[in-house]
Amino acid sequence: MTTTASLPVGQQLEVGDIVASDASLRRFLHGLPGVDQVGAEARVATLSTRSIKTTAKAWAIDLAISMIDLTTLEGQDTPGKVRALCAKALRPDPADQSTPRVAAICVYPDMVPVAAHELAGSGVHVASVATAFPSGRAALPVKLADTRDAVAAGADEIDMVIDRGAFLSGRYLEVFEEIAAVRQAAGDAHLKVILETGELVTYDNVRRASWLAMLAGGDFIKTSTGKISPAATLPVTLVMLEAVRDFRDTMGRQVGVKPAGGIRTTKDAIKYLVLVNETVGDDWLDPDWFRFGASSLLNDLLMQRTKLTTGRYSGPDYFTLD
Amino acid sequence: MSDRIPVRKTYKLYIGGKFPRSESGRTYEVTDRKGTFLANAALGSRKDARDAVVAARKAFPGWSAATAYNRGQVLYRVAELLEGRRAQFVDEVVAGEGLSARKAEAVIDETIDRWVWYAGWSDKIAAIHGSSNPVAGPYFDFSVPEPTGVVAVLAPQGSSLLGLVSVIAPAVVTGSTVVVLASEQAPLPAISLSEVLATSDVPAGVVNLLTGRTAEIAPWLASHMDVNAIDLTGAPEQALELEVASADNLKRVLRPDAARDADWTITPGLERLLAYLETKTVWHPIGV
């Protein structure tokens, strides 16, 4: 499987040394151990066969609900839709008060004021995508302005996209500096860095991009925008979880992980939770350190939850569409 | 010529146009009336029922939106395929119900005629069950029948083919989709029917067929919140508790009726067709 053999675990690395030049950064990223693709996929396949039942399942469902970044990122979004989504975030299942709230609402920057108003004082975070989401193809000042706007409007979490073009052509320092600049512009807001793993092609690239985002100060690394297929997959999430584990071991800072896109069923969500538990352990089994970017997942979790509490199968008619 | 090694069948379920094994991995032995082994059938579980309901729900928008004419044609095509498999069905009915070959032939005739009879109703039911209503105002006012949705059918235990067809056809012809629990003792004709449906033009998921213990699976279908109607014909002893479980989401319930369900050769009338219909009334202003 994967290994941390060539990482100087225990010995403190200095970010400044790594990013001193394009060459030193490249040397570091390419010096990361390669990912054993077959091994990673086999490991995920094994973990996916775990059977989580009864009380453990009930616990996992509630945890998964509390980890959801309830997302609407459509051109057709309206304030009304965002308000409806916020109502759902605060009370996912109106018929059952014991249902936990979701972690955050994730919207486009212009919808942040609406969401911030609806969620004020509730503890549910307001996340905003920024930096010319989803392509990231805009000049840096535009991206920074986008970020500052979202923060000023009340977003306490910023989901930025990296410049995949620069990353794939090997201009790592450029990507690093851009993330660092957005980190600066985001101020106190939590920064989630979207790697768009569907465009990074290889697991080695995913591992490099993960390290790059963490070195630049990201608080979370997120798989995808949800606009590109494939979005989040289990092997990619495994690679990212290993990256945050190794990063904490060497750099002493914990970073969160957020798979986003394509996670639609309770079964899927529980597979991710098993993966988290087996790869990085309890420390990450918390909405502060692991999130699901999803919208339709919530309804399936609620249906499963209802099945467990009432003992009968539920149906999609009993939950809101968005 | 040497003796061939017999090819013993292990049948599977029919869900969403595919033939999966039971999620539980269980099977049970199907025997003829004298106890001779016939084949292994899947012993379905509640999760198979759950999957079947999901498949039926998925198929409902397409099937209910098909024109009545089209549904009739699709079902008629099934009758053609049944005709082509006649010999196999005769064997299975002989083995499963203990009839003589001649009586079984008559049952197959009746089965295919029953299917065609119901297929013909697809574009006529609205004429019988719908109406144009006289109203005191400048409006056209129509009431039209619409399919109710997903129908769970507990097929009769005794009549494994004619009875089965007589409970499936009236539900699907009007546009509902069904989850059928086949006769527990004699599931083979039902399984062969699913093979016929799979090769016909009936879209995947319109008919989903489970084999297994009726007493085990029926309560899950009765309490399922995403099932719109249930036919309790195959579980007369459990009918009361199943009807109570069905009340939570106001399912339409077709009760078993000992007199009616004793002889499937009698021309059925419209009761089963009408059992799975909702009425939609439309007010349309008379234009200027």
Cβ(A265)–Cβ(A294) below 8 Å: no
Q: Does A135 touch chain B (CB under 8 A)?
A: no
Which residue in A265, A266, A312, A314 has the most chain B C-beta atoms within 10 A of its own C-beta, making it the best mutation to test that interface?
A312
Instruction: Tell me which of B148, B226, B228 to substitute to probe the interface with A (most A C-beta atoms closer than 10 Å).
Output: B226
pLDDT at B192 over 60: yes
User: Is any Cβ of chain B less than 8 angstroms from the Cβ of A315?
Assistant: yes
The residues of A assigned a catalytic role are 159, 222, 258
CB contact under 8 A, A314 and B248: no
Residues of A in contact with B224 (CB under 8 A): 312-313, 315
- The mean pLDDT of A27-35, rounded to a whole number, is 95
Nearest to A134 by CA among A213, A225, A73: A225
Specify the DSSP class assigned to residue B276: T
Chain B residues inside the 8 Å CB shell of A311: 223
Residue-level pLDDT at B9: 82
- A59 interface with B at CB cutoff 8 Å: no
Chain A residues close to B57, C-beta within 8 Å: 315-316
Residue A242, pLDDT above cutoff 90:
yes
Domain range enclosing A298: 30-316
CB contact under 8 A, B245 and A312: yes
Handedness of CA A31, A37, A38, A41 (dihedral sign): positive
**Cβ contacts from A onto B, under 8 A:** 27
**Counting Cβ atoms within 10 Å, is residue A293 exposed (0-12), middle (13-18) or buried (19+)?**
buried
CB contact under 8 A, A311 and B223: yes
For A307, the token pair is 């099945």
Is the Cβ pair A317, B248 closer than 8 Å?
no
Domain count, chain A: 1
Cβ separation of A316 and B220 shorter than 8 Å? no
Q: Which residues of B touch A313 (CB under 8 A)?
A: 50, 53, 220, 223-226
Q: Give which of B60, B148, B225 to mutate to test A binding, by max A Cβ within 10 Å.
A: B225
> What is the rounded radius of gyration, in angstroms, for the C-alpha atoms of chain A?
19
Average the pLDDT over A123-152 and give the result.
Answer: 96
Averaged confidence pLDDT in chain A: 94
ipTM of the modeled complex? 0.87
Q: What is the mean pLDDT of residues A23-28?
A: 94
Establish if A95 touches chain B: CB-CB under 8 angstroms: no
SS3 label, residue B279: strand
**pLDDT per residue over B202-228, tens digit each?**
999 999 999 999 999 999 999 999 999
Question: Rounded distance, CA A313 to CA B249, Å?
Answer: 11
**CATH number for the domain harbouring residue A268:** 3.20.20.70
The dihedral sign for the CA sequence B182, B187, B190, B196: positive
> Are residues B226 and A311, on separate chains, in Cβ contact within 8 Å?
no
Contact call for A313 and B248, based on CB within 8 A: no
Tell me how far apart the alpha carbons of residues B243 and B265 are, in angstroms, rounded to a whole number: 27
Cβ atoms within 10 Å, residue B174: 28
- Report the distance separating Cα A130 and Cα A182, nearest Å: 9
Q: Which CATH code is given to the segment(s) B46-285? A: 3.40.605.10
Helices (H), chain B: 46-65, 68-84, 86-97, 101-120, 125-129, 162-173, 188-199, 214-223, 239-246, 258-262, 271-275
pLDDT over threshold 60, residue B42: yes
Closest chain A residue by Cα to residue B226: A315
Looking at chain A, the whole-number percentage of residues with pLDDT higher than 90 is 93
Split at pLDDT 50, 70, 90, the class of A194 is very high
Q: What pLDDT was estimated at residue A300?
A: 96
Q: Write down the pLDDT at residue A7.
A: 61
Contact status of A53 with chain B (Cβ, < 8 Å): no
Does any domain span residue A2?
Answer: no
Q: Spell out which chain B residues touch chain A, with contact meaning CB-CB distance below 8 angstroms.
A: 50, 53, 57, 220, 223-227, 245, 248-249
pLDDT tens, A50-106? 999 999 999 999 999 999 999 999 999 999 999 999 999 999 999 999 999 999 999
Indicate the DSSP class of residue B67.
-
Q: How many helices (H) and strands (E) does chain A have?
A: 13, 8
Contacts with A315 from chain B: Cβ below 8 Å: 57, 224-227, 249
Is residue A15 included in any domain, yes or no?
Answer: no
CB proximity A10 to B under 8 Å:
no
Domain ranges of chain B: 46-285
Whole-number pLDDT of residue A14:
84
* Mean of pLDDT over chain B: 95
Residue A16: pLDDT over 90:
no
Nearest CA in chain B to A306: B225
The pairing of strands B150-154 and B177-181 is: parallel
**Nearest neighbour of A315 by CB, restricted to B220, B225, B245:** B225
pLDDT number for residue A12: 61
Closest approach of B61 to chain A, Cα-based (Å):
14
Residue A9 clears pLDDT 80, i.e. is over it:
no
| pLDDT tens profile B240-250 | 999 999 999 99
Of B223, B225, B227, the CB nearest to A318: B225
In whole angstroms, give the CA distance from residue B238 to residue B254: 13
Which string of DSSP letters, residue by residue, matches B16-38? TTB-PPPTT--EEEEE-TT--EE
The CA distance from A272 to A286, in Å, is 13
Verify whether the Cβ–Cβ distance B226 to A312 is below 8 Å. no
pLDDT band at A178 (very low <50, low <70, confident <90, very high): very high
Pairing outcome for strands B229-231 and B131-132: unpaired
Is A19 a member of any domain?
no
Contact B50 A315 (CB under 8 A): no
Question: Is A313–B245 a contact, with Cβ atoms under 8 angstroms apart?
Answer: no
Amino acid A3: pLDDT: 47
**A207 within some domain:** yes
In a domain, A307, yes or no: yes
